[in-house]
Structure 1
Amino acid sequence: MAHALSVLLHVGAISAMTYGLHGLGLSSWIATQYGGHFQYLTIQGRIRAIKRTLFIAAMPIATVVSSIYWTLLLTFPHLILQALPESPDSPMVLPLRVDLSLHAVPAISLLLDFMVFERKYGRSASLSAVPITVFCTVWYGWWVELCASKNGTFPYPFLTLNPLETRIGIYAGACIVACISFYGLNALHPKSR
């Protein structure tokens, strides 16, 4: 029964995220940008190819992405919603069902998967959380800086509006929150099955 529920969760999450990606309707514009869809942290937060090892990074990154995205969207939307070049005064607002599938489903599905179907990380595996998260943060920081140097703007206005020193602080802060998130979620993991 647990295996069937796990499969159902994964199929449902993949279906919802695929729907969101196709529902964007911006693929042609994004495809013209250096880095395409891969310049957005939302895409990076879905890394799951080598699940157990990369789960250490994917789960807290997805959690941080969702937390930052929804906080900024609800409080300071101008810092997260990018305007298209042809209409610079009106930011891209995604339909709610597309937005949820891109910016909520990844974190929710990874959290459910971890809490219900995965086992808690032991001490030795937990020690790798910091270097893995730092590596992912440095890689994404380098990548988004490269994309912005080619595109002339960052995929998120809050990065475009800040100088390099502040952006480095943002990357470092997100890295720290991701590490804390991993250790906190691992500590909350149910001890018995």
Structure 2
Amino acid sequence: MHPLQRVASPSRGLSALIHMLGMVSFMTSFSYLHLFPRELHLGFGGAFKFLTIIGLGLALVTFAVALLADLILSPSLFRIKNVLSVCSAPLAVLISTLYWGICAINKNLVVPPDMAIPVLPDVGFHAMPAIMLTLDLMFLSPPWTVKGYGAMTISTTIAFFYWGWVELCFSKNGWYPYPIFDILNTWQRVLLFTFSALLMTGSTMALKWVYGKINSIEKFKKDALRPLKDE
């Protein structure tokens, strides 16, 4: 256990329980896709045309590695989980922020009218990954060492990789997974994905600040507020 870590992890106790609950939530969401297929889940890319499903998949892999580390008490797998968390946690927070923020303006921009889902599955897709990954970070993980430029590089890579993936899927299917892409021109999409990269970078720094706040580490709070200092 890292000296700055709140709860012992990997462990077969509370850590394993939290990771198991997270996996159950994520797998339930994937089961919902399987049990209630929608037309937009067909075609090239399948359900992974959606950033939500990519984030959900990454969250599932992160927690699967974490649970395995708990069960066999493996420090190596625990380190792999922490590396995955640097990508999966900020991405989950980004997805939740964008989804619920856009829904507050106009839900039809991200959810076609014929794809509306009940509240509980909606929360499972668009809130639970962020909640569980943040819980894992705050109490079951050592402090992140990623700095501002590193977070920005990771966020920009993910944002523009997804844009390329969306355009590839569009070239094969002839339609975009999210209605908002249909109303934006190329330069507007550049701005959207640039904004998303900046928002994900901000999510990384915000998580780092909250970690410092909860664990009483002033240095992490200061580093998060001035992410480019000393880089």
Q: Which residue of 2 aligns with 1:108?
A: 131
Q: Which residue of 2 aligns with 1:57?
A: 87
1:110–1:101 Cα change, 3 Å: same
Secondary structure in 2 matching 1:155: coil
Q: 5 Å matches for 1:18-167?
A: 18-24=27-33, 25-27=35-37, 29-46=39-56, 47=58, 48=62, 50-82=80-112, 90-122=113-145, 125-126=146-147, 127-167=149-189
2: CA distance, partners of 1:103 / 1:13: 13
2: CA distance, partners of 1:185 / 1:22: 29
Output the TM-score relative to the length of structure 2.
0.73
Q: 5 Å matches for 1:167-186?
A: 167-186=189-208
2: CA distance, partners of 1:66 / 1:31: 20
Task: Give the number of the structure whose alpha-carbon radius of gyration is greater.
Answer: 2
Q: Which residue of 2 aligns with 1:86?
A: none
CA shift at 1:28, angstroms? Answer: 6.3
Runs of 4+ in 1 over 4 A off after TM superposition: none
The letter of the residue matching 1:40 is F
Are 1:78 and 1:91, in contact at CA under 8 Å, matched by a contact in 2? no
Secondary structure in 1 matching 2:115: coil
Secondary structure in 2 matching 1:130: helix
Provide structure 1 residue ranges, at least 5 long, that are not aligned to the other structure: 83-89
Deviations 1:99-133 (A, max 9, x none): 111111100001111011112113xx335222122
| Matched-pair identity in % | 29
2: CA distance, partners of 1:170 / 1:149: 20
Provide structure 2 residue ranges, at least 5 long, that are not aligned to the other structure: 1-6, 66-79, 218-231
1: CA distance, partners of 2:207 / 2:39: 37
Q: Which residue of 2 aligns with 1:191?
A: 215
Which has the higher mean CA deviation after the structures are superposed, 60-69 or 130-139? 130-139
Once superposed, what is the RMSD of the aligned Cα atoms?
A: 2.0
CA shift at 1:70, angstroms? Answer: 1.4
Which has the higher mean CA deviation after the structures are superposed, 181-190 or 110-119? 181-190
User: How many matched pairs?
Assistant: 184
